[in-house]
Structure 1
Amino acid sequence: MKLPGLLLFSAPLCIAGYGVIRLAGRADGHYGPGPDWQAAHLFGLLGMVLFIPVVLNLSRELPPSRWRDGTVGLTLIGLGATIVQFTADISFAALAENKADMSRLSNQFSDIPGVRPLFYTVLPQLFFLGLVVLTVLLARRKLLPWWSPPLLLAGILLSAFSLDFLPLTGAAILVALLPMAEPNVLGRVGLRADR
C-alpha cells in the first residue's frame, strides 16, 4: 500500500509554505501580529495536523513491533505538542494589539511551569526525531531508498539552525518521503518508486 499522494504532498508543502510566508513577512521588519503571522502559522498548524495521518500511514507499512509502536507514539506526542504551540501562537497574535503585547501574552503562557519544555523546547522535537526513525525503519525494509533518512535529517537540522530554512526543510521532507507515494502520483511528477 502506498501513501495517498494528496497527504504526502500537502503536509510537507504546508511546512514549506509556513517558511515562505514567514520570510516574506519578516522582509518588511513588521512580522507579527498581523495577516502574515497568522497565515504563516495557519500553514504550519495545518501541516502538523496533516502529518498525523501521514505518520499513521507510514507506520502501517511496517510490521508490528515495539520499535514501530514506540516511534509512532513519540512522534504523535511531538505532533500534539507542536499543534498546541501553533494554536497558542495564533491565539496570542489574534488577541494582541502589537508585537510587544503578543510577546507579553506568549511569555505569560510559556512562564507557566512545565509549558516551555512541553510545548516549545522538548516534546515538539519528538515529531522530527520520530519521523527520522520511521524513515530509517522503512529504508531498512527497502520501502524507502537509502538516501531518504539522511536527506530528511539534513532538512530538519537546517531548520534547527535557523527557521529561515523552513522552506528547504519542507522540500527535504517531501523528497525523502516521495517514494512512499502512490505510483500514479509519481508518474504524474515524472518519477517512479524503485523499491
Structure 2
Amino acid sequence: MIVGMSKSFAFIAAPLLVTVYGLIRILDGLDGERGPGLAWMTGHLAFLAALLLFVPVFLDLRRLAGRGGFATWTVAVALAGTACSVVQIAVDIVIGALATDHDDMRAMFSDVIKVPGMDIVVYTVGPVLFFLGLAVVFCQLAVARAVPAWWAASVVTGALVLPAGPDLLPVAGVLLCAGLVPFARRVARGEAVHA
C-alpha cells in the first residue's frame, strides 16, 4: 500500500510542481526582471523537486512499457536529460543564492556558460533529452495500448510544449497533470494500466 502511495505521489506531484514553477516564474517576472530573491529560489526548488520526482515516474513507465530494450534506452535517455536539467537548476539555485542583484546574476551566468560544454550539455541539448524521452515512452505505451490514447496525447503535447519556452511552463504542467494524474490513481490501486 505504501509503495503504491509513493508511486502515485510522484505521478501527481511531479507535473503539479512543474505547473507551480511556471506560475512562480511568471510572477517573478512581473517587475521586468527574474531573480534573485524568494520567488526565484522557491520556483527553482519546486522545479528541482519535480525533476527528482520524475525519476520514479520514468522507472515505472519503463516497467509498464515491458522493460524491453527500446523502453530501457528511452528511459535511459530521459534520465540523462533529467540529470542535465537537475544540474542546470542547481546552478540557477546557487547563482540565485549568491547574487546580490540581477546584474550580478547575469555576470555569474555568463561565467558559467563559458565553461566548455556547459552551454550545450546543461542548457541546450541535455534537457531536451528529458522531453524527448518522456514523449517517446508515452508514444510506446499508447501504441502498446498500455495507456489510453488521450493520456499519451496529453503528456506528449506537454513534453513538446515544455521546451517551446519557459513562459509556457504552466500550460505544459497542466497537460502533464492531465495525462499523469489519472495514471497515478491506477498505480495507487495496484491495477494494470490498460486502455
**TM norm structure 2:** 0.89
- Summarize the Cα distance change of 1:65–1:159 in structure 2 as closer, same or farther, 3 Å threshold: closer
Rounded Cα–Cα distance in structure 2 between residues aligned with 1:20 and 1:173: 15
CA positional deviation for 1:7:
1.1
Task: Note if contact 2:161-2:172 (Cα within 8 Å) is conserved in structure 1.
Answer: yes
Q: Could you say which residue in structure 2 is the equivalent of 1:33?
A: 36
- With over 3 angstroms needed to count, the CA separation of the structure-2 counterparts of 1:180 and 1:21, relative to structure 1, is same
Q: Which amino acid aligns with 1:88?
A: V
1:165 matched to 2:168? yes
Counterpart position of 1:100:
103
Identify unmatched segments of 5+ residues in structure 1: 187-192
Which deviates the most, 100-109 or 21-30?
21-30
In the alignment, which residue of structure 1 is the partner of 2:114?
111
1:18 alignment counterpart: 21
Structure 1 residues 68 and 157: alpha-carbon distance in aligned structure 2, compared to 1, 3 A threshold: closer
Which structure 2 segments of 5+ residues have no match? none
For the residue of structure 1 that corresponds to 2:36, the secondary structure is coil
> Aligned-pair distance for 1:181?
1.8
| Cα 1:144–1:178 shift into 2, 3 Å | farther
Scaled by the length of structure 1, what TM-score is found? Answer: 0.89
Q: What aligned pairs does 1:8-87 form with structure 2 within 5 A after superposition?
A: 8-87=11-90
CA contact (8 A) 1:75 1:126 kept: yes
Contact 2:21 2:44 (8 Å CA) reproduced: yes
8 Å contact kept, 2:151–2:180: yes
Q: Counterpart in 1 of 2:158?
A: 155
Distance 1:183 1:153 in 2: 20
From the two aligned structures, give the one with the greater helix fraction. 2
Which residue matches 1:121?
124
Report if the CA contact (8 A) 2:128-2:163 is conserved. Answer: no
Q: Which residue of 1 aligns with 2:144?
A: 141
Q: Percent of pairs identical after alignment?
A: 33
How many pairs does the alignment contain?
A: 189
Superposed CA deviations along residues 135-180 of structure 1, whole A, max 9, x for unmatched, are 1111122221112333223223333333111111111112122342
Deviation at 1:79, TM superposition (A): 0.2
